[in-house]
Amino acid sequence: MDLIETLKSLWSWLIHNKKGLRSVNFPNSSSNLPDAADIFHSQAFLNQPNVEEEFSTNCQPLWRMRVWKNCIFVSGDNNSIKRIDPATHICKDEKETISGNSPDDFDVTDSGRFIYVDWQERSICRLLGNSTTEEILKLRGWKPWGICSSISGDILVAMRSDDTKQARVVGFREAKKTREYKLDQKGHPLYDSPAFVAENRNQDVCVSDVHHNRVTVVDVNGTFKFHYHGKQAAAMYPTFYPKGIATNSQANILIADQENNCVHILDPIGQLVSFISTGCSLMEPYCLCVGREDELYVGEYHQGKVKKIRYLQ
């Protein structure tokens, strides 16, 4: 094991030092991409990421996680979303689903309203301020899997068809469909199993496709930008097992690699720029979210633990 960890450290060091030598060229048409100053700032990674906090959530398995106003919200295989107090790490309250099913994914909007998806009921729901829950939309022929709120105010929902032969990401405002991402420019399916969805600061839509072992990114108009299959890390991790996905203020894309116990960090054009692995002792990282200061929260699947990691200078 010592040799393996040494090799991983060496690979991480090579990634850190390689990116300082690489020039970054942006397509003229991608005006939404961050400017060069942002990219260089996003490359100011710590040589060794460090775990600042670690605590248990009592969710085993731990499925999903979000941070809002310094509070951490988590869900597992029961019917509630739990709020973890940031100071004591004690569960303060629970928000239960209408159906009694586990929330397959949830998010917190800028206004503090909770939205979640219920795979079994094919529904998209929200929790109101008076602790009641309402169903926004019932899908027909589709089962929702992942959800996130977008900069535009839409709700982005990743879903599969009932027969599992089709997949898509759809934007909704209330019950009205505002956009759909399903096929690339050549008419090929973008997704197979879109389990996690996140929006980048440039409004790119980033999806973790768990059965295809890849991450797919499209721009706000649905134009395909890239797939990431983990091949840039193949020297250390021959197979890629993407799960949770998050983005930070520098437009980096962070991907939990469950089986390899690490987090891949990409730049906005899909280049691997860093790893979080050695030194953080991750065990089955499954869900991710990013706090106000770009600190990373990693949820470990079977352990039900959360690790708060500092990885940027």
Domain range annotation of the chain: 33-312
pLDDT of residue 14: 53
pLDDT number for residue 136: 93
pLDDT of residue 44: 86
In this predicted structure, what is the pLDDT of residue 103? Answer: 95
Query: What is the per-residue pLDDT for 261?
Result: 96
**Unique residue bearing structure tokens 């988590």:** 74
The Cβ of residue 290 has, within 10 Å, a number of other Cβ atoms equal to: 17
The CA distance from 241 to 110, in Å, is 30
The contacts of residue 9 (CB under 8 Å, 6+ apart) are: 278
Q: 64 and 287 in contact (C-beta within 8 Å)?
A: yes
**Which helix (DSSP H) or strand (DSSP E) does residue 297 occupy?**
strand 296-300
Q: What number of residues does the chain have?
A: 313
Amino acid at 152: S
Q: Beta strands of 150-213 (E only): which ranges?
A: 155-161, 167-173, 176-181, 194-199, 205-209
**CATH number assigned to the domain with residue range 33-312, chosen from the 4 options 3.40.50.1000, 2.120.10.30, 3.30.9.10, 3.40.50.880:** 2.120.10.30
**The two three-digit tokens of residue 102, written as one number:** 């586990």
Give me Rg for the CA atoms of the chain. Answer: 19
**pLDDT tens over the chain, length 313 residues:** 444 444 444 455 455 454 433 323 323 333 344 443 344 344 589 989 999 999 999 899 999 999 998 899 999 999 999 999 888 998 888 889 999 999 999 999 988 889 999 999 999 999 886 668 899 999 999 999 999 999 999 999 999 999 999 999 999 998 899 999 999 999 999 999 999 999 999 999 999 999 999 999 999 999 999 999 999 999 888 999 999 999 999 999 999 999 999 999 999 999 999 999 878 999 999 999 999 999 999 999 999 999 999 999 8
